[in-house]
Amino acid sequence: MPTEPRNAVLDRLPTWNFLVATGLLLGLAYPPNPVGLFGAVGLVPLLYVLRRAATWKQAFRWSYGSFLLFSALTTWWVGSWQSKTEPYLMISCLLLIIIHPLFFVIPMLLYRWVMRRASPFHALLFLPFLWTGGEYLHALTDASYPWLTLGNTQTYNHYFIQFIEFTGVWGLSFVLLAINCALTALLFAAGADIPQQQRRQVRRVGLGVLAAAILLPYAHGILRDESPTKGGGMTTTIIQPNVDPWDKWEQVDTVNQIELNGQMTRKAVAALQQKPDMVLWVETAIPRTLTTPGAEGRMAEVMELVNSIDVPLMSGFPDYHRYSDTEPIPPSSKIGVEYGAAGQLDSFRYDHFNSVGLFVPGKGLTGVYHKMQLVPFGERIPFADDLPFLIKMLTWDMGISAWGRGQSITVFDLPLRNGQPAKGGAVICFESVYPNVVRKFVDSGANFLTVVTNDGWYLGTTGPLQHQRFALLRAIENRRPIARAANTGISCFISPNGEIYNETEQNVAAAITDQLELRSGRTLYTRWGDWWPQLCLLAAAMFAVAIALRRHRSA
């Protein structure tokens, strides 16, 4: 059994002090709190105290307790907690708070495993690779919820985060873990039972890691920083209708959302000296399908607006697709019936998709994108294609928890007023939390991005504020401008270096117009994708095998 370092002052504190400290520090590290520093130190108390755990079960309980507090502080808003909230949504929130900490517990158990088989210092060397790889694996699952990726804590740290154009937000998580682990190593090295030579060595390495992890990102950010260029780009008008989402879906037949958004659009465009290159509406701004039989009137209403203002419109709407016999048909698709030519009753398969379309004057609907990354439970039951019977059991009253899942990226061709072409990618709501999803739009040629969302379900909570801040990470990763349209706010523009400008207030109807600086180059992250967490995962696996073999030989 390796010698465990002791610290006379810290070892007198009760275990629960450390567990609560980690939960509080991590919980407060996320937006809208501008204290991302807590993300760099929040794990230190737990990493330090886990050496006290006599069994893996005790380590599990301690880790789970810390991360349960962390999860409750950061994701309580998922339940909405408004007077009209569905009980199902509140239950989903409670399940998320209870289950999600398990994803963080696994790295802690493996950290303790290495600590027991090698040393605390080996475990601290191992953890940044393991944690980063684990975050990546979690984001791949059908029930993924990467909202609490540790790198997301740094959205107020402008210069520090610019290097994610190389690694994605995963590199930011790695650096934060390295700082946490270096600080913990320095605490371990202060123990009275550590040999003097080892203490000096750990201090040199720990201080070196701290210096590199802090100074290198800042140096790159300061040297790389540039002022956002608003000239020579494309002008976009964003419409924020501020519609109660509960009323919107319940009164879908009596409230004409096309007319409401259209009136705001006409007024906004008329107030400008020069027409914009594009108008952007929010997620499901048009809450009814436009391509089903009988929807011709709604499509005509949209195109009448687009043709009259002579400006392309990008808008969210639910799209309908009927599968042909030659297409792959997802098991989770819906079954419809109709009378055939001979009067018999025939069945067919179809899906509705949470979608964004581009409507161009004189041309009509020129492209549609179907959302690929759906909110677990809120928009789609996880593993629905494997367990399609769950869809009927778990569809909530708003009727929006059984969307079909899109299968491919769509990049829209937008004709600008100056005659130049532009290519845009439309990211829908929850997708903006997934680096690899957003990256694919840019890798496919998009030189600007839009994010359309309906955060009104969570108005008055921290959720919409967090969601807005996370979008700036996608701008930096791909060096692309973003126009963000949110039903009840916050709508805004984001420069390629992550600066937010011309943002709206929440819970107000608004129209904002500004320019987006179009870009054509691709960052390392855009080209290579999630290479860094994959490398971390490989390194963690090799490290674990080496520790296991070392233990086996010594036995």
Instruction: Delimit the domains of the chain by residue range.
Output: 10-226+531-554, 234-516
Q: Are 350 and 323 in contact (CB under 8 A)?
A: yes
Provide the H-helix boundaries in 335-488.
389-394, 435-443, 463-478
Contacts of 208 (CB under 8 A, 6+ apart): none
Ranges 81-95, 159-173, 229-243, 519-533: which has the least confidence: 81-95
DSSP percent split of the chain into helix, strand, coil, nearest 5: 50, 15, 35
SS3 of residue 424 by DSSP: strand
- Asked if the 234-516 domain carries CATH number 1.10.1060.10, the reply is no
Tens digits of residue pLDDT in 440-476: 999 999 999 999 999 998 999 999 999 999 999 999 9
Tens digits of residue pLDDT in 283-296: 999 998 998 888 89
The per-residue pLDDT for 273 is 93
Q: Are 66 and 19 in contact (CB under 8 A)?
A: yes
Ranges 80-84, 220-224, 503-507: which has the least confidence: 80-84
Ranges 39-53, 213-227, 316-330, 393-407: which has the least confidence: 393-407
Tens digits of residue pLDDT in 390-438: 655 555 444 455 788 888 999 999 999 998 889 999 999 999 999 999 9
Give me the mean pLDDT over the 126-141 stretch. 95
Dig out the tokens for 44 from the structure.
């230190």
What length does the chain have?
555
Query: Is the pLDDT assigned to residue 313 strictly greater than 60?
Result: yes
Q: At what angle do helices 463-478 and 435-443 cross, to 10 degrees?
A: 40
Q: What is the DSSP string of 111-168?
A: HHHHHHHT-HHHHHHHHHHHHHHHHHHHHHSTT--GGG-GGGGGTT-TTTTTTHHHH-
The per-residue pLDDT for 551 is 64
Rounded percentage of the chain residues whose pLDDT exceeds 70: 90
The per-residue pLDDT for 10 is 80
Sorting pLDDT into bands at 50, 70 and 90, what band is 533? very high
Cis upstream peptide for 32 (omega within 30°): yes
Query: Is the pLDDT assigned to residue 186 strictly greater than 80?
Result: yes
* Entry pTM: 0.92
Q: Alpha-carbon distance 80 to 458, whole Å?
A: 5
- Comparing 420 with 277, the larger pLDDT belongs to 277
> Looking at 361-400, which runs of residues are DSSP E strands?
364-370
Taking the alpha carbons at both ends of the chain, their separation in whole angstroms is 12
Phi, psi of 427 (to 5 degrees): -95, 130
Tens digits of residue pLDDT in 336-384: 777 777 777 777 787 889 999 999 999 999 999 999 988 776 666 666 6
Rounded percentage of the chain residues whose pLDDT exceeds 90: 69
Tens digits of residue pLDDT in 37-47: 999 999 999 99
Q: Are 465 and 192 in contact (CB under 8 A)?
A: no
The per-residue pLDDT for 310 is 97
Query: Is the pLDDT assigned to residue 538 strictly greater than 80?
Result: yes
